[in-house]
Structure 1
Amino acid sequence: MHVDLPREPRSVSRTGPRALAPGQDVRVSVPATSANLGPGFDSLGLALTLYDTVRVRTSENEGIFVEVAGEGAGNVPLDSSHLVVRALLATVAAAGYEVQGLHLSADNAIPHGRGLGSSASAIVSGVLAANSLLPAEARLDAAGLLHSCSALEGHPDNVAPALAGDLAISWETDGVFRSVRSAVHPAVVPVVAIPDVELSTESARGLLPATVAHRTAAANAGRAALLIHALTVDPSLLLEGTHDALHQDFRAPAMPDSARLLQSLRSAGFAAVISGAGPTVMCLANGETAALEAEHAMTKHLQAAESGANWRVLRLGVERDGARVEGHQR
């Protein structure tokens, strides 16, 4: 995906918003994502084979009804303040429409607050569902979808791979978000260790310094460039390509158990990174054998550490196609 985005929102009808057609039924599946990938701070993101799925139905009966299963059940709101609903309503309103009756069912597999793109998944789910519910002439194109999702999320590094799949390289110029999709080498296998504690992106970002040395920035830029080559052409370079000097060390005090696991894995030769803002740790393995070794190394360290947190170690894949929309559309 390589898109230039509109600078201005779509105009709203001067006659007031129109109601969405009732009787529509749309399903959206959106993958988890891992941003940064070490040195690619705020610019690189990878789609993973772990999914949130939502079903949205419109009706003539007024009101918004939300039900949630899986991750976040019992903790997220069940009304119009739910993030998927907020993204959906914002997209519908921007097109000059409004919702009369809405029923949202969410089945979540992406953990919240772990650095795996749960908020990006919710936003993409809401925007794609809304776009499908709108009449054909009011729908956003690929550029508009990336713009809307990025504007709601605040940055494109998670929403871009969630939308398009594979590896996304994203940037912003004068308020215009753009992204290109690159095919990940088939040998790359992501392995994640997910703790049962959350860490907000805002808290993690607050630990970063305002400036870094020119030498540090230059070295990190070189590693980010190498990482793209390692992910797409030569996975044998993943360990060197995932070396970061911009954010992981500064954020370590907020997630000491993750930082120790990261250091242990990298010292043993695994291409480990903090996923997004953390605290999930991810290894990018070169092949299935290396992925099994990474799983074993993660499990062994966590059993010995006795950190108090419960961890899940999962071997995932790279999601190639990104979000999917299906169901009855008009």
Structure 2
Amino acid sequence: MTKLLTVRIPATSANLGPGFDCMGLALDLWNTFELHRGNGAGITVESHGEGEDVLPRDKSHLVVRTMIEELTTFIPFNPDRQAYHIVCRNAVPCGSGLGSSSTAVLAGLIFAHAVLDPQGFHGPAGSARILNRAFEIEGHGDNVAPALLGGLVIVVGRDGEVITHRITLPPTRVVVCVPRFHFMTSHARSVLPLHYSRSDAVFNVGRAMLVVEALRNGDASLLSRAMDDRIHEPYRLPAIPGAIEAKRAALARGALAVTLSGAGPGILAFAREDHDAIGQAMQSAFATAGGLPARYWVLDVASSGAQVFV
């Protein structure tokens, strides 16, 4: 086999409390994907690390599905007559609220555009096309945009256009604790109300702006006062056993602010110090209150997004 391309894509934490569906943060935990010219016919996959025992090894894998769907919108493409092999080296846990599926979608899109345009796919125009398509596939960009661009990203859709604004942060370290709990994104969406009051909308808009300013300026006091939400956390936290207690435990142990990571079930804590102690406190709370084993990671914010090596 001949390696054609390697892509590294970071984990992400979306929403960040009040920034529902429009704000996300890239984290220094990476999935790596390799595209090889295979032998014979058909597209095959091998996975190592997180999810290696459960992820599919054929064209039903999300990377391959995305790659095929993207290619077939531009060219006649029969995957059964192709010869590609994809290697996934996963450090981002699946179903954790850390954007694992977004890394797969982005990898599939990057591979497809590398096949379509080997010279220009990873330039500015190629990146813009990939971001637009990822936004369409995901329905919102709060995971895919920071995974592609790095750092803190605000992202919204407008009349078919994706508007992004990337914000450079001072060195920022977080703790993410993920319980062993299957919390499907579809279920996480289904528990949300269809309508919100004006006061709840105003509450979130104001706090989202304050969270951005607090992170941009490293303002711990402002972050601890602003990180609150009325759009999704009041409905999702109770659906995850032990999550409410884990959030309380992190704050009691010294975290500045604590929120769901994406839709959950992972919990994200911002802190200046005692990161391991905060992670252990969340682990203990999940075990005691929710009966769930949990793992935690201490992670820096990733200043760069997806990296392509040809």
What TM-score do you get using the length of structure 1 for normalisation? 0.85
Question: 1:169-191, CA deviations, whole angstroms, 9 ceiling, x for partnerless residues?
Answer: 000112322211111221x2111
Residue 156 (str. 1) matches residue 135 (str. 2): no
Q: What letter corresponds to residue 46 of structure 2 in structure 1?
A: E
Counterpart residue number, 1:311: 294
Q: Is the 8 A contact 1:239 1:269 kept in 2?
A: no
Separation in 2, partners of 1:185, 1:94: 41
Separation in 2, partners of 1:239, 1:282: 13
Cα offset, 1:278, TM superposition: 0.5
SS at match of 1:53: strand
After superposition, residues 216-235 of structure 1 pair within 5 angstroms as 216-235=200-219
Residue 114 (str. 1) matches residue 96 (str. 2): yes
Counterpart residue number, 2:177: 193
Q: For structure 2, which runs of at least 5 residues remain unmatched after alignment?
A: none
Q: For structure 1, which runs of at least 5 residues remain unmatched after alignment?
A: 1-21
After superposition, residues 171-186 of structure 1 pair within 5 angstroms as 171-186=156-171
Residue 65 (str. 1) matches residue 44 (str. 2): yes
Residue 291 (str. 1) matches residue 275 (str. 2): yes
Q: Is the 8 A contact 1:31 1:322 kept in 2?
A: yes
After superposition, residues 260-271 of structure 1 pair within 5 angstroms as 260-266=245-251, 270=255, 271=257
Cα offset, 1:202, TM superposition: 0.9
Question: 1:143-187, CA deviations, whole angstroms, 9 ceiling, x for partnerless residues?
Answer: 21111111122211100000000011000112322211111221x
After superposition, residues 3-152 of structure 1 pair within 5 angstroms as 23=2, 25-59=4-38, 61-96=40-75, 98=77, 100-136=82-118, 139=121, 141-152=126-137
SS at match of 1:107: strand
Q: Is the 8 A contact 1:68 1:108 kept in 2?
A: yes
Q: Is the 8 A contact 1:41 1:246 kept in 2?
A: yes
Cα offset, 1:77, TM superposition: 1.4
Residue 323 (str. 1) matches residue 309 (str. 2): no
Cα offset, 1:24, TM superposition: 5.2
Q: Is the 8 A contact 2:94 2:100 kept in 1?
A: yes
Q: What letter corresponds to residue 292 of structure 2 in structure 1?
A: A
Q: What letter corresponds to residue 118 of structure 1 in structure 2?
A: S
Cα offset, 1:23, TM superposition: 4.8
Cα offset, 1:128, TM superposition: 1.5
Cα offset, 1:61, TM superposition: 2.7
Cα offset, 1:298, TM superposition: 2.8
**How many equivalent pairs are there?**
302
Residue 204 (str. 1) matches residue 188 (str. 2): yes
Q: Is the 8 A contact 1:216 1:246 kept in 2?
A: yes
Q: What letter corresponds to residue 124 of structure 1 in structure 2?
A: L
SS at match of 1:41: coil
Separation in 1, partners of 2:289, 2:230: 28
Separation in 2, partners of 1:269, 1:244: 20
Separation in 2, partners of 1:318, 1:122: 20
* Identity across matched positions, percent: 36
Q: What letter corresponds to residue 308 of structure 1 in structure 2?
A: G
Q: What letter corresponds to residue 209 of structure 1 in structure 2?
A: P
SS at match of 2:300: coil
Cα offset, 1:220, TM superposition: 1.2
Q: 1:290 to 1:231 in 2, by over 3 A?
A: farther
What TM-score do you get using the length of structure 2 for normalisation? 0.90
Cα offset, 1:254, TM superposition: 1.5
- Between 254-263 and 313-322, report the one with greater CA deviation: 254-263
SS at match of 1:25: strand
Separation in 1, partners of 2:98, 2:150: 14
